[in-house]
């Protein structure tokens, strides 16, 4: 990913490669974490000053209404060049077949 961290005082991503700060595996109270998904993303952007983040609830806890909400919210919060947000889920198959990825 080509990015310049907001921690470095930049407000947009340059075209050259550089470091970005992110967390791709987080959950909220809708799955096995705490708080709302909105507070999860607010914390990532406005308190942790991340450049990229995602929500990775366990697959067996992601129902259709929540998946639709997650996709709508990530599309709304995604600001190309400033704050990149991905929808996602964690495959939580049985450990014997390689689950919990």
Query: Which residue matches tokens 């983040």?
Result: 53
Q: What percent of the chain has pLDDT over 90?
A: 40
Residue range 86-98: average pLDDT?
80
Comparison of pLDDT for 42 and 80, the residue scoring more: 42
> Which run of H or of E encompasses 77?
helix 64-77
- Is residue 56 within 8 A of residue 88, CB to CB? The reply is yes
Q: Are 80 and 86 in contact (CB under 8 A)?
A: no
Are 40 and 34 a contacting pair, CB within 8 Å? no
Give pLDDT tens digits for 34-77.
888 899 999 999 999 999 999 988 888 889 999 999 999 999 99
């Amino acid at each position: 990913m080509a990015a310049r961290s907001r921690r470095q005082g930049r407000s947009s991503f340059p075209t050259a490669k550089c470091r970005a700060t992110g967390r791709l595996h987080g959950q909220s109270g809708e799955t096995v974490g705490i708080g709302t998904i909105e507070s999860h993303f607010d914390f990532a952007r406005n308190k942790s000053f991340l450049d990229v983040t995602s929500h990775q609830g366990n697959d067996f806890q992601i129902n259709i209404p929540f998946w639709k909400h997650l996709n709508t919210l990530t599309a709304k919060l995604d600001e190309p060049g400033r704050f990149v947000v991905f929808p996602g889920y964690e495959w939580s198959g049985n450990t014997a077949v390689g689950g919990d990825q």
